[in-house]
Amino acid sequence: MEAENIETLYKAHAPVILLYLRRLVGNGDMAADLLQETFATALSSEKNLRKAASARGWLFGVARNLGLNAIRRKKVLSPLDIDPPAADAQEDERLEQMWKAIGGLPDVLRETLRLKLQQELSYEEIATVLSIPVGTVRSRLHHAVRRLRERMQESKA
C-alpha cells in the first residue's frame, strides 16, 4: 500500500478505530499503541488489505485481534464489564436497565451489537472483523435485539 493511501485511510478511519480500541482495552495509551500497530500491519500486509472487500472492516478486524491479544497478555477487562454506566444513564432508569441488559448478553452477541450500533459498521464489515459469515452477523444481531426487548419487557412488568 502506498504511503498516500495509508495516510488517507488513517485520516478516515483512525478516530473511530481509536475509540473502538479504547473501549476494547480500556486504556488510552495502549489503545494508541495498538492503533499504530494496526496501521503498521496495514503497511506490511498490502496484499490482504487490497483483497478485502472493505478497508474499514479489515482495519477493524486487525485492531480487534491486536486488542484481544493485548487483553489476553495484560489481562485487561473489557470496560463494559467493569465500568458503571455514565451519569446520564444513572438518571434515566430505562437507560440503566438497558445498560444492564446489554451487559448480560453473551460476549458474541454483545460484540456484534456494539460493532453495529456503536461503530455503525455494515453487516459485511462486521463479518470481516469477526471472520464469520454475513448470515451469522445478521442472526446474532437479531438474537441480541430480541433478548434486549424481552429483558426490557420483563423489567416493565
Q: Closer CB to other proteins, residue 50 or residue 142?
A: 142
- Least distance CB 51 / other proteins (angstroms): 20
- Least distance CB 32 / other proteins (angstroms): 5
- Least distance CB 49 / other proteins (angstroms): 14
C-alpha 36/C-alpha 10 separation (Å) is 10
| Residue 74 interacts with other proteins (CB under 8 A): yes or no | no
Among 10, 48, 54, 155, binds other proteins (CB under 8 A): 10
| Residue 18 interacts with other proteins (CB under 8 A): yes or no | yes
Identity at 32, one-letter amino acid code: A
| Residue 116 interacts with other proteins (CB under 8 A): yes or no | yes
| Residue 71 interacts with other proteins (CB under 8 A): yes or no | no
C-alpha 54/C-alpha 32 separation (Å) is 22
Range 40-43 contact pairs with CB under 8 angstroms and sequence separation of 24 or more: 41/66, 42/1, 42/6, 42/9, 43/1, 43/6
C-alpha 52/C-alpha 49 separation (Å) is 5
* Residues that bind other proteins in the complex, under the rule CB under 8 A: 6-7, 10, 14-15, 18-19, 22-23, 28, 31-32, 35-37, 39-40, 43-44, 79-80, 83, 85-86, 88-89, 94-95, 98-99, 102, 113-114, 116-118, 123, 138, 141-142, 145-146, 148-149, 152-153
